[in-house]
Amino acid sequence: MLIPLYGYAFNVAIGSKAIAIAIFLFTAAVPGGFTLIFGVAFTIQHFSVVQLVSSTGSFALLLFILYPVFMYAFKSDELW
């Protein structure tokens, strides 16, 4: 996951566009799947304001982590 972060931060192409897309899909599927499945299921079972804020915060952190990876994979066409 550090390759897209480095590439997005410094505007350099590392590897190919296919590798960047694969890294994004893997990064979105694995942590995103755990965040959505377990976060939503745990919030439904143990509903409280603290749990709702915690689940929302973890989803926001996931989006914060995925933003540069997405931009590097799909919105940096001038690098390749």
Q: What tokens were used for 13?
A: 């192409």
pLDDT tens for the chain, 80 residues long, are 677 878 888 888 888 889 889 989 998 898 888 878 887 888 888 888 888 888 888 889 888 988 988 888 888 877 76
Number of H helices, E strands in the chain: 3, 0
The pTM of the whole model exceeds 0.85: no
Instruction: Please give the pLDDT value at position 37.
Output: 84
Contact 14, 7 (CB under 8 A): yes
pLDDT at 77: 77
pLDDT of 1 reads 66
